[in-house]
Amino acid sequence: MSDPSRYAAEFEAARDNPDAFWADQAEAIRWTRPPTQVLDDSRAPFYHWFPDGELNTADNCLDRHVDAGRGDVTALIYDSPVTGTQARYTYAELRDAVARFAGVIRDQGVAKGDRVIIYMPMIPEAVIAMLACARIGAVHSVVFGGFAGAELAKRIDDATPTLVLSASCGIEPGRVVEYKPLLDTGIDLAEHKVERCVIFQRDTQRCELVSGRDIDWNEALAAAEPADCVPVAATDPLYILYTSGTTGKPKGVVRDNGGHAVAMHYSARAVYGLSPDDVFWTASDVGWVVGHSYIVYAPLLLGCTSVMYEGKPVGTPDAGAFFRVIAEHGVDVFFTAPTAFRAVKKVDPNAELGAAHDTSCLRALFLAGEHTDPDTARWAGEKLDVPVIDHWWQTETAWAMSANPLGIEMLDVPPGSAGRPMPGYDIRVLAPDGSEVGADEMGDICVKLPLPPGCFPTLWQNDARFRSSYLDEFPGYYRSGDAGYFDAAGNVWVMSRVDDIINVAGHRLSTGMMEEVIADHADVAEVAVVGAADADKGQLPVAMVVLKSGVTRPSDEVIAELVALVRDRIGPVAAFRHATLVERLPKTRSGKVVRATLRQIADGKEWNTPATIDDPAILTEIEAQLATIGYPRRGG
Ligand code: COA
Ligand code: AMP
């Protein structure tokens, strides 16, 4: 018997007749040349949505709503407890600010197709910068402020930007993060020569500009004329967003214009149940995909109000902050990472600070970025008195692969599951031989090609890496890199990564990247970094380090240097603090470090000695060694 639910009907429509389904969704977008074709599969496995369509994404985010008479509706609310300021932009105001700043970057020689790196804190100017690029058809690449100069340099070299946009500082609880030294380091380290930067001077702390290279944001703005929207092909890139791969070289995820606009608009309604009258708040950062999709593009494409929050769940000033923002701005739907609620729960277990605020406006809480533990979901649901929806997605996809689709219908999803496949995603769980596994059996979570609109068409100038990272293992499928299973009711359970990517406070990081940095220390012979379970941040990196023979320095001193090195090269976001020195690393006879076993040991799980290991005794030595630095941190 077929499932009569609305969800099933919509899912089947997208799966069985994708052309008609996505053509319908594309009607919501203003095209300067409407597409006559929906999916171009002639170059499979490279697929292109709406190949002959032409549009401008910023026009759809802003001008279209103003033209429709909604210019007075609030587009963006900036709420910044770290500076004690708030600001609101109507659609008309934001359009004008974006058009004007688009004039600034055009005056700096940026044209359609050129790349612009944006290295900025959570201020409205970051959103304005992104949309200004979109307005003139330039390709933005936002670099998260928690990354250090060396990481910025890698992105500069890959994206080869014409211009870099930055600000004098960011503000973290208890400290001002000076962006300028990080920016200068990034530019110095990069081989690609950055000729021009536009710098926004914040009142909190200004910075020195480099003469001949840096331009003051406000001065440039005063001299600029507004720029019009430049139509681009639906398949032209809107942005590049770098994400962690298994090596130190980040992957440049490309987003197109047309498919992305359609998918963002669709997901705002279908997944989050939003309408243009709603206030949507995503507590993340514009440096992550969550910020791109749900602070900036989706809410604005739909025409609702987006809240941009420059603060933390705790400490700015206290654990009542989330509740305060929801109440004060009348937030209808809220989205953040589970780790944020774990932080609130830890500091204020009874949500006494939250209780002071009336959050009855809220309809739902969405969580993503890492596995949601049922305990945290229950706590947040009780304290906010709303349904809590775990949904699963990645930088690569830009929107949820699985969720409980609030805008279609609320399904019966058990806590711990990330919901059902969203329309457009034909999710399959595969065994190593490529066959589909049965219900409740773990495997590689894959999506049958083509991926729906909005998902990445390739990696920036690297089709080969796109194929080898995602497509070669299971021909005809996109391999997500996550392992999990379907239960008998069709719910998706995302359990772990199949690679060396870890998830720290909802931030995706590569242990390979940390190993490269640590191995660079003069005293280090070898190192293995694994992600170990942590009750607050989900996972934390822990390093097992072998020193070169003859090095006799105190271990504390060496470890402190390694911690500083990772912070300096990768950035504070790596949250790398724990390392232990070991005699040697446990390896198979073919020389591979047995990382899975090391992870089990660090997590305090049952572990067995792998049959192929060359020296079993080292595992118990490492277990003892890890215990001296407090591992396992939970579950032991
Ligand atoms: N610029 C500069 N530094 C930054 C930064 C930024 N934009 N963002 C974080 N950092 C720094 C932090 O100050 C911290 O530095 P420290 O080592 O000196 O304390 C370090 O990077 C680690 O940051 P984070 O992992 O965010 O830990 P935290 O203890 O500061 O905060 C949470 C923990 C849970 C409150 C916070 O991570 C959070 O709100 N996360 C959920 C939301 C989110 O952003 N999810 C991402 C995708 S949905
Ligand atoms: P990012 O690309 O930074 O968004 O990180 C994506 C990764 O985060 C996924 O591949 C998963 O490993 C993890 N992730 C995201 N959402 C979830 C979720 N709801 N449940 C479990 N893991 C998740």
What residue ranges do the domains of the chain occupy? 5-311+391-484, 505-627
> If you take atom 37 of ligand 1, which residue's CA is the nearest one?
505
C-beta of 508 in contact with ligand 2 (< 6 A): yes
Pocket perturbation via mutation, ligand 1, pick of 509, 573, 576 by most ligand atoms within 8 A of CB:
573
CA of 517 to the centre of ligand 2 (A): 24
For residue 349, cis peptide bond before it (omega within 30 degrees of 0)? no
pLDDT one-digit tens code per residue, 300-321: 999 999 999 999 999 999 999 9
- Using DSSP's 3-state secondary structure scheme, residue 154 falls into helix
Instruction: Answer whether residue 635 shows pLDDT above 70.
Output: no
Q: Which ligand is nearest to the CA of 393?
A: 2
For residue 554, cis peptide bond before it (omega within 30 degrees of 0)? no
pLDDT one-digit tens code per residue, 65-106: 999 999 999 999 999 999 999 999 999 999 999 999 999 999
DSSP codes, 273-299: ---TT-EEEE-S-TTSHHHIIIIIIHH
- Using DSSP's 3-state secondary structure scheme, residue 12 falls into helix
pLDDT bucket at 625, cuts 50 / 70 / 90: very high
How many other C-beta atoms lie within 10 A of the C-beta of residue 90?
18
Strands 420-421, 427-430: pairing kind: unpaired
Residues 6+ apart with CB under 8 A from 169: 121, 176, 177, 178, 179, 180, 202, 204, 205, 207
pLDDT at 549: 93
C-beta of 152 in contact with ligand 1 (< 6 A): no
pLDDT at 4: 60
pLDDT at 500: 86
DSSP codes, 617-628: HHHHHHHHHHHT
The residue to which tokens 């999803």 are assigned: 413
C-beta of 421 in contact with ligand 2 (< 6 A): no
How many other C-beta atoms lie within 10 A of the C-beta of residue 288?
23
Instruction: Answer whether residue 2 shows pLDDT above 50.
Output: no
Task: Please state the atom number of ligand 1 nearest to the C-alpha of residue 282.
Answer: 48
C-beta of 510 in contact with ligand 2 (< 6 A): no
22: enclosing H helix or E strand = helix 18-26
372: enclosing H helix or E strand = none
Residues 6+ apart with CB under 8 A from 253: 240, 241, 242, 243, 289, 395, 396, 456, 459, 460
Between vectors from CA 65 to CA 335 and to CA 307, what angle results, nearest 5°? Answer: 25
- Give the tokens for residue 421: 């496949």
Mean pLDDT of the chain: 96
Measured CA to CA, the distance from residue 284 to residue 289 in angstroms comes to 9
The answer to whether 334 and 327 have CB atoms below 8 angstroms apart is no
Pocket perturbation via mutation, ligand 2, pick of 242, 392, 496 by most ligand atoms within 8 A of CB:
392
The answer to whether 122 and 308 have CB atoms below 8 angstroms apart is yes
Q: Give the CA dihedral 77, 79, 85, 91, nearest 10 degrees.
A: -10
- Give the tokens for residue 11: 């899912």
pLDDT bucket at 614, cuts 50 / 70 / 90: confident
For residue 432, cis peptide bond before it (omega within 30 degrees of 0)? no
SS3 content of the chain, % helix, strand, coil (to 5): 35, 25, 45
- Give the tokens for residue 540: 């934390």
pLDDT at 3: 52
Q: Which ligand is nearest to the CA of 284?
A: 1
How many other C-beta atoms lie within 10 A of the C-beta of residue 63?
21
> If you take atom 6 of ligand 2, which residue's CA is the nearest one?
394
CA diameter of the chain: 74
pLDDT one-digit tens code per residue, 192-241: 999 999 999 999 999 999 999 999 999 999 999 999 999 999 999 999 99
C-beta of 339 in contact with ligand 1 (< 6 A): yes
DSSP letter at 578? E
Residues 6+ apart with CB under 8 A from 5: 409, 411
> If you take atom 40 of ligand 1, which residue's CA is the nearest one?
340
How many other C-beta atoms lie within 10 A of the C-beta of residue 54?
18
The answer to whether 187 and 160 have CB atoms below 8 angstroms apart is no
Measured CA to CA, the distance from residue 140 to residue 120 in angstroms comes to 12
The answer to whether 129 and 101 have CB atoms below 8 angstroms apart is yes
pLDDT at 634: 59
Instruction: Answer whether residue 636 shows pLDDT above 50.
Output: no
CA of 290 to the centre of ligand 2 (A): 11
Measured CA to CA, the distance from residue 43 to residue 381 in angstroms comes to 46
Instruction: Answer whether residue 373 shows pLDDT above 70.
Output: yes
Count of helix runs (H) and strand runs (E) in the chain: 20, 32
pLDDT bucket at 1, cuts 50 / 70 / 90: very low
Domain 505-627: CATH class, spelled out? alpha beta
The residue to which tokens 């990330």 are assigned: 418
> If you take atom 4 of ligand 2, which residue's CA is the nearest one?
394
pTM: 0.96
Average pLDDT of span 424-453 = 98
Task: Please state the atom number of ligand 1 nearest to the C-alpha of residue 536.
Answer: 34
Strands 578-581, 538-547: pairing kind: parallel
C-beta of 369 in contact with ligand 2 (< 6 A): yes
pLDDT bucket at 248, cuts 50 / 70 / 90: confident
Q: What is the 3-state secondary structure (H, E, C) of 294-349?
A: HHHHHHHHHCCEEEEECCCCCCCCCCCHHHHHHHHHCCCEEEECHHHHHHHHHHCC
Q: Choose which CATH entry (3.40.50.720, 2.60.120.460, 3.40.50.12780, 3.30.565.10) describes domain 5-311+391-484.
A: 3.40.50.12780
CA of 573 to the centre of ligand 1 (A): 6
C-beta of 633 in contact with ligand 1 (< 6 A): no
pLDDT one-digit tens code per residue, 324-369: 999 999 999 999 999 999 999 999 999 999 999 999 999 999 999 9
DSSP codes, 485-514: EE-TTS-EEEEEESSSEEEETTEEEEHHHH
Measured CA to CA, the distance from residue 15 to residue 62 in angstroms comes to 31
Task: Please state the atom number of ligand 1 nearest to the C-alpha of residue 144.
Answer: 7
DSSP letter at 315? S
Query: What's the one-letter identity of residue 582?
Result: V
Give the residue among 212, 205, 204 at the shortest CA–CA distance from 187. 212
Instruction: Answer whether residue 141 shows pLDDT above 80.
Output: yes
Instruction: Answer whether residue 529 shows pLDDT above 50.
Output: yes
Q: Which ligand is nearest to the CA of 396?
A: 2
pLDDT at 608: 87
pLDDT at 405: 98
The answer to whether 235 and 457 have CB atoms below 8 angstroms apart is yes
C-beta of 538 in contact with ligand 1 (< 6 A): no
Strands 477-486, 443-448: pairing kind: antiparallel
Cross-sheet strand order for the sheet of 492-497: 427-430, 443-448, 477-486, 492-497
Average pLDDT of span 33-48 = 98
